[in-house]
Structure 1
Amino acid sequence: MSLLSQYGWNSHFEQYYTSFLHQGLEAARVTAINGYNHTIISNKGLSAAILAGTLMNSKETWELPKVGDWVVCKPYDDQSIIIDVLPRQNAISRKLPGRSSQQQVIAANLDAALIIQGLDRDFNLQRLQRYLQQVYQCGIQPVIILNKQDLVDDPEAYRRQVLELGYKCPVLLTSALDRAQLESWTSQYLQAGKTFALLGSSGVGKSTLFNALSGIVIQKEGNLSTFNNKGKHTTTARQLVMLPNGSMLIDSPGMREFGLTIDADEGVSFYHPQIEERSANCRFRDCTHQQEPGCAVIAAVEAGTLPVNVYRNYLKLVREQYHYQASSMEKKRMDQQFGKLSKQINALRKKRKY
């Protein structure tokens, strides 16, 4: 098996790579990014890499190489120059913090996302649903990891709360400090040749878990802030590491904000099993579950069979998607107007030339 195959190379990337063969370019996977510095793995091994100027000038920020991306590059002295990015199979993204409507790609070409919540202070079903929605929106399979089970009296009660949400994904209890517990689920869920991303807010134990699974200290672990007992940001750069069993794990900085994204030309949708189950009985096929007559979802809330907090959280996330889509469409409209203006200016310049 080639080194590229060990790192997840498959027929999807092969078909796009063939057009670059005659240019003498090598295929590689991005394993780390720190500022403008990239690390890639090719059949020749690890090397440092920089982005070609034409690539930086022709791509949107979210289209530039991210950890997990497959790229084509050419050697130059003791490093490589990344020429282009091969089309992604998928990518996990979030809305940039603040009022921006732009998306930030966190990692690319994943087989699953490990959503981590700590049972000491971080456990929050609404936040969990936010992560689940975005992961499903990106077409990626989630696995929920409830960490720090050794710090609560009844960890199974927390697991039941998550299972009651109805999502069809694994929900695992663990402690990053317990080697036997880690081995019990990693042998089943982290398969060789597959790529997984760790997602979660600061303080959930992501770095501790990452270090325990990799067998080496990759990131410096942080303490809790004495001011608000929230976790400090301990990971400052994203990276992909091959685990001892041959699977790959991508760590990323803890995220205090995890805004939902949706393309401007897509319809707003929100996957929630309890909503989906009841919406099949709504009078109208395009029911928004807010004020339409004959809405089975609203009827379930009024009857007490659908918890009010679940319904309110659903509406909140759907409205957030609407807001992001509206902002994204406005940005596209402004870009189109700017493009037309640029063409007019260029045409005027050509006309005035002697």
Structure 2
Amino acid sequence: MSTLQSYGWNEHFKHQFEISRSSGLEAARVLSIQGFKHLVITEGGNVEAQLSGALMNSREPEAYPKVGDWVLLKCYEEGGVIIDTLPRFNQLSRKAPGTESGLQVLAANIDAAFIVQGLDRDYNLMRLQRYLQQIVQCNIKPIIILNKADLVPDPEIYRQQVHELGYNCPVLLTSALKPALQYEWTSQYLLRRHTYILLGSSGVGKSTLLNSLLGYKMQAEGATSSANNKGKHTTTARHLVLLPNGSIIIDAPGMREFGLTGAAESEGVHHPLIDELAPLCRFGDCTHQHEPGCAILTAVENGTLPELVYRSYLKLLREQNHFKASEADRRQHERRFSKMVKQVVKHRRNRKY
């Protein structure tokens, strides 16, 4: 097996490469990004590269190469230059942290996302549903890891609560400190040449989990702040690494914010339990909030739809609508500014003698 194949190179990317290929360029995958430096893997090994000026000037920042992207690389003796990015089959994104309305792409070309929650103090169903919603809408398969299961009397209670959210995805109980428990799920859910990403808040045990999977200490294992019981950041940037069993994993820094954006073509929040009941509503355009004959409200009232799921659904729906409205305003402002710049340039050109 070639080096690129071991890092996920397949017929899809080979076809895209042949379409985009130019003389002197080779394929590479982005392993990590530190400032302007991109560490990529080529058939010949690791190369430190930077973005070409043409690429930076022709793309929005969210379209710049991210960890997991396959790129076209021009190699030189001292490094390389990334000329272009091959089309992604998906991308994991979130609303940019803070008050910005922009989109932040975290990683690309992911087969499944492991959402890690610790059962000691991090366990939060509302936060978990937020992760699930965004990941599903990014066309990525979610797998939930409930870590530190050895610290609670009956971990099966937590697994049942997660199943009741209705996303029909695997929910794994484990402890990153117990190798025997790791093998129970890694043999089934970590497949060779497939790419995964580890997500979760700081302090849930992602770094300990990754170190256990690797068999050596890549990331420092963090402690928990005694002041606020919140985890400390031990991973400060995203890294793509090849595991001993041949699978590929991206370790992401702990995220306190995971803002919902929704898919570009999506109208509203698509929750599996809501979608199953929606066709039974009296009105086809039912908002599931106040209309008579709403099957969703009826299900909440009689207890067949958990109230937690419904309240979270409404909150995520409001957040997604707000993001889309803000994003539309931002893009409209950019279009107006671009049009103004073109008019100024044209005016100055016409006034030249």
**Are 2:262 and 2:269, in contact at CA under 8 Å, matched by a contact in 1?**
no
Cα drift, residue 311 of structure 1: 1.3
Secondary structure at 1:121 match in 2: coil
Count of residue pairs the alignment pairs up: 353
Cα drift, residue 249 of structure 1: 0.5
Cα deviation, 1:82-118, whole Å, max 9, x if unaligned, reads 1111110101111111121111111110110001111
2:72 alignment partner in structure 1: 72
- Structure 1 vs Structure 2 CA RMSD: 1.3
Secondary structure at 1:186 match in 2: helix
Which runs of no fewer than 5 residues in structure 2 stay unpaired? none
1:269 alignment partner in structure 2: 268
Cα drift, residue 22 of structure 1: 3.7
**Are 1:242 and 1:249, in contact at CA under 8 Å, matched by a contact in 2?**
yes
In the alignment, does 2:213 pair up with 1:208?
A: no
In the alignment, does 2:63 pair up with 1:60?
A: no
**Are 2:268 and 2:321, in contact at CA under 8 Å, matched by a contact in 1?**
no
2:317 alignment partner in structure 1: 318
What amino acid maps onto 2:28 in structure 1? A
Bigger mean CA offset, 224-233 vs 279-288: 279-288
Bigger mean CA offset, 211-220 vs 120-129: 211-220
What amino acid maps onto 1:162 in structure 2? V
**Are 1:279 and 1:297, in contact at CA under 8 Å, matched by a contact in 2?**
yes
1:241 alignment partner in structure 2: 241
Alignment of 1:211-222 (within 5 A): 211-222=211-222
Cα drift, residue 56 of structure 1: 1.4
In the alignment, does 2:346 pair up with 1:347?
A: yes
2:293 alignment partner in structure 1: 294
Bigger mean CA offset, 94-103 vs 313-322: 94-103
Cα drift, residue 286 of structure 1: 2.3
2:24 alignment partner in structure 1: 24
Cα deviation, 1:181-201, whole Å, max 9, x if unaligned, reads 101110111000100000111
Cα drift, residue 274 of structure 1: 2.3
Secondary structure at 1:23 match in 2: coil
**TM-score of the superposition, structure 1-length normalised?**
0.97
Secondary structure at 2:153 match in 1: coil
Distance in structure 2 (CA, Å) of the matches to 1:243 and 1:278: 42
Alignment of 1:224-263 (within 5 A): 224-262=224-262
Cα drift, residue 267 of structure 1: 4.0
Secondary structure at 1:28 match in 2: strand
Alignment of 1:144-159 (within 5 A): 144-159=144-159
**1:194–1:108: structure 2 CA closer, same or farther, 3 Å change rule?**
same
Cα deviation, 1:24-73, whole Å, max 9, x if unaligned, reads 10100001112222111111111111111211121111111111000001
2:337 alignment partner in structure 1: 338
> In percent, how many aligned pairs have the same letter?
59
**Are 1:268 and 1:321, in contact at CA under 8 Å, matched by a contact in 2?**
no
**Are 2:93 and 2:106, in contact at CA under 8 Å, matched by a contact in 1?**
yes
Distance in structure 1 (CA, Å) of the matches to 2:281 and 2:19: 50
What amino acid maps onto 2:2 in structure 1? S
**Are 1:115 and 1:131, in contact at CA under 8 Å, matched by a contact in 2?**
yes
Cα deviation, 1:116-159, whole Å, max 9, x if unaligned, reads 11100010110000000000010000000000001111111111
Cα drift, residue 23 of structure 1: 1.9
**TM-score of the superposition, structure 2-length normalised?**
0.97
Distance in structure 2 (CA, Å) of the matches to 1:160 and 1:184: 19
